[in-house]
Structure 1
Amino acid sequence: MNTVQGIVRMHMRDKWSWIYLPWVIVLSSFAINLLIAVLMADDEKIVTGGLMSIFIYMLVSGIVAVHHTFPFALGLSVRRKDYFAGTLIMILAVSAASALVLMLLSYIESWTDGWHTDLFFFHLPYVSDGNAPQQFVVFGSLMLFMYLLGFAISSMFRRFGKTGLYAASIIGLLLGTLLVYGSIYWGWWNGIYDFFQGRSAFNLALLLLPLSALLALGGYALLRRSTV
């Protein structure tokens, strides 16, 4: 347990990457959009997708965190199991804290009618339709998924190197292409549309949780067999 806590503390030393930088990115995007909304000064409602910047950053952060810290941890004779547990705790904590802040900003934006400028950056249609706990789950689940996707990608690189990562990317692209063609040829689009139509963002966020668990287990399995 002490080793796991040590891994968490190791990650916490890089507060800039884990905590500060994602908010610098998303708040910079928000400030630009707010300035545009103020300058426009009309009654038109502005809905922007700038919030996605923080989720994209989480994907990149999940990749970079393993790349930077895994060899260092192994150099200190840390077990892969302990490294995985400590990193997962850090990912869960950052995802939960970030989701809480996003939820609060969403409510503030709603209460102030888009910061009195009709700008909706955090409070988005469909995404923010649920109550406070549901919004927390939506933000947290997506953030966790992006972190663990990055973690799994970086773990694959650690296990198979560049060749394996390139091969997995090509296979994924081919499977995606076949899926699109299959959907067109056999008319699967109606079924896919029906699947998503009746589900809220909260329902879809719940469906992401088992996928996140699979990514975590897959990443751990890859790290267990990696060299450095």
Structure 2
Amino acid sequence: MTALTAEIPAPRRIASVMRIHVANPWPTAILPWLVLFGVHGITWSIWALITHYAGDSLEPDAFRYAGGVSWLVIYMMVIAIQAMNAGFRFAMGFSATRRDYYAGTVAFFAAMAVVYALGLGVLAMVERATDGWGLDGSFYAPAYLYDEPYAVIAFHYLALYLLFTAMGALIGALFVRWRAAGLYLYFAGLALAVVAFVWWALDAGDSLVAFFRDNPIEVVMAWTLPLSAALAALGWLVIRRAPTRA
């Protein structure tokens, strides 16, 4: 850390890193909403066609299981991976520390998670107020979120986005430090974790099913927060010794 960098308060250094990610808002703040509204429009058109041709034979809850919002969390995970890789050495060139860069990147995506959670919650309320866009559909609050209040819907998306962006930050950190070998390490560890989870789930059986059945969605999603924090902490442990040059 240079003497000049040391004189700048940590919050300002972290805010400077966040501004690096804000410099090009298109991939994180503009394009996702445009694509989302486009998918919504296409979905609504399909609902309208089905309603027209099905007539009275259409089931009342036929459009309550749309998955059009789910792609956003995968998209934001990919953006987090790219941001970690693309901006790291650029920020290092401006005398940012690894700690500042990682903290600023994680803070940026946490802020984006809040924005998307609040926005999707508002859209879910508009959807509910318009009787599912006039077709009894459920695009922004499908299935298990259909009857939930605004706070629960927003918290659900917040927890989901934090989980996937923390995962993206870890993958990006692995790539920055070890390049392709880091990705091999991650996917090998992920495969082992999935196998271990399936083994545990089969052994847990009814108790696991009871957990999801007996607990409200906000409690279930709250359990993802420690995992998100662990992934973010692991990402820091990886990137704290990453080389500043390729």
Q: TM-score normalised to the size of structure 2? A: 0.85
Q: Is the 8 A contact 1:126 1:200 kept in 2?
A: no
CA change 1:182–1:23 in 2 (3 A) is: same
Which amino acid in structure 2 is aligned with residue 46 of structure 1? F
| Alignment match, 2:99 | 81
| Alignment match, 2:120 | 102
**Paired residues, number:** 226
Question: What is the deviation of 1:178?
Answer: 4.6
Q: Is the 8 A contact 2:177 2:238 kept in 1?
A: yes
Question: Is residue 2:141 matched to residue 1:141?
Answer: no
Q: Is the 8 A contact 1:55 1:146 kept in 2?
A: yes
Q: Which runs of 5+ in 1 are unaligned?
A: none
| Alignment match, 2:229 | 213
Q: Is the 8 A contact 1:152 1:216 kept in 2?
A: yes
Q: Is the 8 A contact 2:163 2:227 kept in 1?
A: yes
| Alignment match, 2:217 | 201
Alpha-carbon distance between aligned partners in 2 of 1:117 and 1:183, rounded to the nearest angstrom: 38
Q: Is the 8 A contact 1:50 1:121 kept in 2?
A: yes
Within the candidate set 13, 22, 25, 1:15 is matched to 25
Question: What is the deviation of 1:150?
Answer: 0.5
Q: Is the 8 A contact 1:4 1:82 kept in 2?
A: yes
Q: Secondary structure at 2:83's aligned position in 1?
A: helix
Structure label with greater radius of gyration = 2
Q: Is the 8 A contact 1:159 1:226 kept in 2?
A: yes
- Could you report, residue by residue, the CA deviation over 1:128-181 in whole angstroms, capped at 9, with x for unpaired residues? 443222221111111111111111111112222212321331232134235435
CA change 1:11–1:113 in 2 (3 A) is: same
Alpha-carbon distance between aligned partners in 2 of 1:180 and 1:36, rounded to the nearest angstrom: 36
* CA RMSD, Structure 1 to Structure 2 (Å): 1.8
Alpha-carbon distance between aligned partners in 1 of 2:228 and 2:187, rounded to the nearest angstrom: 19
Q: Secondary structure at 1:101's aligned position in 2?
A: helix
Q: TM-score normalised to the size of structure 1? A: 0.91
Q: Which moved more, 1:14-23 or 1:166-175?
A: 166-175
Q: Percent identity?
A: 29
Question: Is residue 2:71 matched to residue 1:30?
Answer: no
Q: Secondary structure at 1:46's aligned position in 2?
A: coil
Q: Which runs of 5+ in 2 are unaligned?
A: 1-10
Within the candidate set 155, 166, 180, 2:173 is matched to 155
Q: Which segments of structure 1 move beyond 6 Å, counting only runs of 4 or more?
A: none
Alpha-carbon distance between aligned partners in 1 of 2:46 and 2:63, rounded to the nearest angstrom: 10
